[in-house]
Structure 1
Amino acid sequence: MLATVDRGVAGRRALAVAAAALVVAASAQVSVPVPLSPVPMTLQPLAVLAVGGVLGAAGGGAALVLYLTLGLLGLPVFFAGGAGIGHVLGPTGGYLLAFPAAAAVAGRFAGTSPTLGRVLLGCALAMVVIHAGGAAQLALLGGDPGFALRVGFVPFLTGDLLKVGIAAAVILGLGPKLRALL
């Protein structure tokens, strides 16, 4: 009986990880070009933070590794229906590669008993992880860290602060209910 229960829990968790990867893929399709930047504004960071906060560090990280794997295998999960190694090696690659770590940070801070302060701090730090990865890759590709910050960080600040707040609301509002199902 215990083995059956464990398989049921494992199955629900695996399904949650797969569903979370699809949520991130769907969020990537909502993109807005940013003037003078090779990086579009998408809903991906919001989804990454929410997924990590709801599924926890391990589940959130796994969902984002799955998301990246699907994109690398050719499924059109990256922004504008993109896929393949070119997205990971291009201007948006640093952001993409930072997603699993960012989800894990958000999940770690949310923990099993999330509070508003911990969730907001975790989401803010996770957003810093995403932008650090993105700016690092832009600097590597362009050779100018100042330019990387101007086009890959500054234009996104206001929107990303809003995304941190929305992600925190999702984590605190839906997280306990969704975790109870797992």
Structure 2
Amino acid sequence: MSIQVTTIRPGAVLADVLPASSAGRARARDAVLVLGGAALTGVAAQIAVPVPGSPVPVTGQTFAALLVGASMGARRGFLSLALYVVAGVAGMPWFSETQSGASFPSFGYILGMLIAATVVGALARRGGDRGVFRTAGTMAAGMAIIYGVGVPYLALATGMTAGEALSAGLVPFLIGDGLKAALAMGALPAAWKLIGGRD
């Protein structure tokens, strides 16, 4: 009886483990992954809890966007979130609380997610999703980008001061984001260990 060993090439992300026997099949796989990543983000955005005193709800959208980037890499992560953003702006009601368009105060967070998924995907290709502490750093970088875009956008869209925007658009979400990061810290390295690609 032989044991099959999974060989993972350097610079791979989890999505690269999915088999594709030809260039055409690889393109089809990538298209399905991009569509799936956009859909996952849209579904996760509907898990929304209003925050008193803030126009920004707590959602599963942030975690989904970062997970898409980490598991798919920069290019597919960017395309997934770009599809999510473009379809939502065009009228697909899959932003948080079934919103669409671009005329709401929390739209900056969505733009931040697009950038964050790309950066997190690039970090994952450099091993940023392989261990608990590296995954924590990767998720923290992604969340910093989301807030770095979302909070200033919130201030501009609502006329809040910088302090008010931080109080309404950052502080209430820190505990939840810590829990999301902890979930990723367990899930991503565990997935690599399961497929035999832990370094």
Matched, 1:98 2:115: no
* Residue in 2 that maps onto 1:12: 29
Find the partner of 2:155 among 128, 139, 163: 139
1:84 CA displacement: 1.6
Matched, 1:77 2:91: no
* Residue in 1 that maps onto 2:49: 32
Normalising by structure 2, what TM-score? 0.81
Alpha-carbon RMSD across the aligned residues, in angstroms, is: 1.9
Deviation string 1:45-72 (CA, Å, 9 cap, x unpaired) is: 1111111110011111111011001101
Over the matched positions of the two proteins, sequence identity in percent amounts to 36
**Relative to total residues, which structure has the larger helix share, 1 or 2?**
1
1:168 CA displacement: 3.0
1:19 CA displacement: 0.2
Asked which structure has the greater CA Rg, the reply is: 2
Deviation string 1:81-134 (CA, Å, 9 cap, x unpaired) is: 111232xxx211110111111111221222264232222111101001111111
Extract structure 1 runs of 4+ deviating beyond 4 A: 175-178
Q: What CA distance in whole angstroms lies between the structure 1 residues aligned with 2:113 and 2:60?
A: 13
Structure 1 unaligned regions, length at least 5: none
Counterpart of 1:74 in 2: which secondary structure?
Answer: coil
The one-letter amino acid paired with 1:144 is T
* Residue in 2 that maps onto 1:124: 140
Normalising by structure 1, what TM-score? 0.88
* Residue in 2 that maps onto 1:110: 124
Tell me which of the two structures has the higher relative contact order, counting C-alpha pairs closer than 8 angstroms and 6 or more residues apart.
1
Contact 2:133–2:185 (Cα < 8 Å) also in 1: no
Counterpart of 2:140 in 1: which secondary structure?
Answer: helix
Aligned length: 173
Structure 2 unaligned regions, length at least 5: 1-20
Q: What CA distance in whole angstroms lies between the structure 2 residues aligned with 1:131 and 1:51?
A: 18
1:161 CA displacement: 0.8
